[in-house]
Chains A and B, each alone.
Chain A
Amino acid sequence: MSRPMLLALQVLVAVVCIVLWQVLSTVPVFGKILLPPFFFSNPFDVFSQIVKWFASGVIWKHLGITLAESILAFVIGSTGGVLVGFWFARQPLVAAVFDPYVKMVNALPRVVLAPIFALWLGLGIWSKVALGVTLVFFIVFFNVYQGVKEVSRTVLDNGRMLGMSERQLMQHVYWPSALSWMFSSLHTSVGFAVVGAVVGEYLGSAAGLGYLIQQAEGIFDVAGVFAGMFVLSAFVILIDFGVTLVERRLLVWRPTASDGRG
């Protein structure tokens, strides 16, 4: 299918959904409105709420806060994940000792940590960053650990036979291999950084998209909740697009599925 055709169909899905929503929430069917505005609002109200936010400029502050929290969570979480992943993969004894604890912490639903972080770090951005870090760290950690462990035996032997020292093996073999695994999970980890930030805001904060949604829910402002959700979705899609660009630049050496000779 050609690109414009695909794009047209994708837009069509959105248009159909929005029109259905508008019609069912305003026009009675057999004398009854199927989507009562109190529970479902309607696209027009939601859209005007979004326009109001952007027109008055209040939204920028919230977007900026959420973006800052997500970036901090991603940077701190992945730095930690890379370092610890490397350390564990190169020191099997350390990995074996910590294995049950890593599994325990990873199995814990991170939401339960949010109140503790709020207690420790206050209601500012750092409690949200901490929540995001606990999510991002494990994704990056497991990927880097795997990446270092699964370096091809032959490539490693080749490096040794070419005369690489341990440090050079690190630089030319382990590091690129681990990075490629980390980048392959980039979409997931960036997504989780945003999730951490928004959930943290939702559970207790004074700014951010999560805060905006939570405030609207508090006063039964359904249009506000939907508006917040749409802004959040657009925000996530934009970030994801950015990640795709970065990925394309960094992983040029990787065969893609469509490459027959891969």
Chain B
Amino acid sequence: MTTPTAVALEDAKVAFHLRDGRVYTAVEKAHLTVAQGEFVAIVGPTGCGKSTLLNVAAGLLKPAAGSVRIFDQPLAGLNRDAGYLFQSDALFPWKTALDNVAIGLEIKGTPRSEALPRAQQWLTSVGLGAFAGRYPHMLSGGQRKRVALAQVLIRDPKILLMDEPFGPLDAQTRQVMGNLLLDLWNADRKAVLFVTHDLEEAIALADRVVIMSAGPSSRIIGDWRVRLPRPRDIFEVRLDKEFHSLHREIWGVLKDEVMKGYMQSTQAAEAV
């Protein structure tokens, strides 16, 4: 291989100790690699442990077995090469949009006088140049995601981990955000691990789509390469013939898992 591997999970198993003493295995023997500059999307039914896997790559969770390697180095503690975009609001509510973005640099010791103009540049490139003085609660959900994106990218991480980042947004905003993400990503092609439950979003954005089975003890059950040309436009790529055939092929596998996951969640609800 010529391109180095950014993220490598080898036989990673994640288990949680439940309160009643039992052990819940969320993910079993996951094997996943993301090459440098590669955009990988993980798709799976609700509760399959996609986010868990992402947290393992971030170092927020320790795998019960198996190993995590970041740029061929075993991961100890938090993944310092990664930027993490959370599903729910993670901005600091007591800081303005500008300060929220600048903090990424200030933590590293960049003087404030230098961090602020760069934060302003980043806010402009996510389309929020005029909103620097607003506090998060004064911004819409989509605008908050843009600030969060700028907050992560200003640190220039080598790896981007994204946990259903556009999940809470409405359909149109999601597509706009998807295009914004692709534009920003195209500039320097970081390694991306993108978790979503939306197969269309996954195919439109990613180079590879990885499918997980329904939990518990979910596994990776499929890995497809997306050969749609770049740069892509999310609106247009959905009309492409190859998009449709790939969607049909992956959905054939995913559908069963979604049904399984759905059945399990309804049974669990009845058991309660």
| Chain A residues packing against B (C-beta within 8 Å) | 152, 154-155, 157-164, 168, 172-173, 176-177, 180, 252-255, 259, 261-262
In angstroms, how far is the closest chain A Cβ from the Cβ of B21?
22
Known: A176-B94, A253-B135, A255-B137. A161 touches B88 (CB 8 A): no
- A163–B107 Cα gap in the complex (Å)? 7
Report whether over half of chain A's contact residues are helix, strand or loop; otherwise say mixed.
helix
Complex Cα gap A177–B95 (Å):
11
| Other 9 A-B pairs with CB < 8 A, given A160-B60, A164-B107 | A154-B88, A155-B90, A158-B86, A162-B107, A162-B155, A163-B155, A168-B107, A177-B94, A261-B137
Whether, in the assembled complex, B92 has its beta carbon less than 8 Å from a beta carbon of chain A, the answer is yes
* B245: chain A residues within 8 A (beta carbon): none
Kindly provide the distance from the CB of B158 to the nearest chain A CB, expressed in whole angstroms: 13
A160 to B135, CA, bound (A): 21
Interface string of B136-157 (1 = CB under 8 A from A): 1111100000000001100100
Chain B residues with a Cβ under 8 A of chain A = 58, 60, 78-80, 82-84, 86, 88-96, 103-104, 107-108, 135-140, 151-152, 155
CB-based contact A262/B137 at 8 Å: yes
A154 and B60 form a contact (CB under 8 A): no
Q: Which of A155, A157, A164, A262 contacts B84 (CB 8 A)?
A: A157
Q: Report how far A259 CA is from B136 CA in the complex, Å.
A: 12
Q: Are A176 and B86 in contact (CB under 8 A)?
A: no
- Chain A residues with Cβ under 8 A from B95's Cβ? 172, 253
In the assembled complex, the Cα of A172 lies from the Cα of B106 at a distance in Å of: 11
- Complex contacts, A252 vs chain B, CB 8 Å: 135
Q: Per a CB cutoff under 8 Å, which of B60, B80, B83 touches A157?
A: B60
Q: Which of B93, B96, B135, B151 has the most A CB atoms < 10 Å from its CB?
A: B93
| Nearest Cβ on chain B to A261's Cβ, whole angstroms | 7
The answer to whether B93 and A253 have CB atoms under 8 Å apart is yes
Residues on A with C-beta less than 8 A from B96 are: 253
User: With contacts A155-B90, A176-B94 known, is A161 near B135, CB below 8 A?
Assistant: no
Whether A254 pairs with B86 at a CB distance below 8 angstroms is no
Q: Closest residue to A255 on the B side, CB-wise?
A: B137
Q: A161, B60: Cβ atoms under 8 Å?
A: yes
Q: Which residues of A contact B135 (CB under 8 A)?
A: 252-253
A172 touches B103 (CB 8 A): yes
Taken together as a complex, chains A and B put the C-alpha atoms of A187 and B80 apart, in Å, by 43
Main secondary structure of the interface of B (DSSP, over half): loop
Residues in chain B near residue A159, CB distance under 8 A:
92
Measured CB to CB, the nearest residue on chain A to B151 is A162
> Contact at B93–A161, with CB atoms within 8 Å?
no
**Are B107 and A161 interface neighbours, CB within 8 A?**
no
| Cross-interface CB contact of A253 among B78, B94, B140, B151, cutoff 8 Å | B94
Taking a contact as CB atoms under 8 Å apart, the answer to whether B104 and A261 are in contact is no
In angstroms, Cα B152 to Cα A128, docked, is 52
Contact of B92 among A157, A161, A173, A255 (CB under 8 A): A173
- Given A173-B92, A176-B94, is A261 in contact with B83 using a C-beta cutoff of 8 Å? no
Minimum C-beta distance from A102 to chain B (A): 27
Residue of chain A at shortest CB distance from B89 = A154
CB-CB under 8 A from A259, the residues of chain B are: 137-138
With a cutoff of 8 Å between Cβ atoms, the chain A residues found around residue B86 in the complex are 154, 157-158
Closest to A251 in B: B94
CA distance A253 to B99 in the complex (A): 12
Docked CA distance A160–B77 (Å): 11
Inter-chain contacts of A261 with B (CB < 8 A)? 137-140
Contact of A158 among B80, B82, B90 (CB under 8 A): B90
- Kindly list chain A residues whose C-beta atoms are within 8 Å of the C-beta of B93: 155, 253-254
29 contacts between A and B (CB under 8 A): A154-B86, A154-B89, A155-B91, A155-B92, A155-B93, A157-B60, A157-B84, A158-B84, A158-B86, A161-B82, A161-B83, A162-B83, A162-B104, A162-B151, A163-B80, A163-B104, A163-B107, A163-B108, A164-B107, A172-B103, A176-B92, A176-B94, A180-B94, A253-B96, A254-B93, A255-B137, A259-B137, A259-B138, A262-B137
With a cutoff of 8 Å between Cβ atoms, the chain B residues found around residue A172 in the complex are: 92, 95, 103
CA of A177 to CA of B136, assembled, Å = 15
CB-CB < 8 A to B138: which residues of A? 259, 261
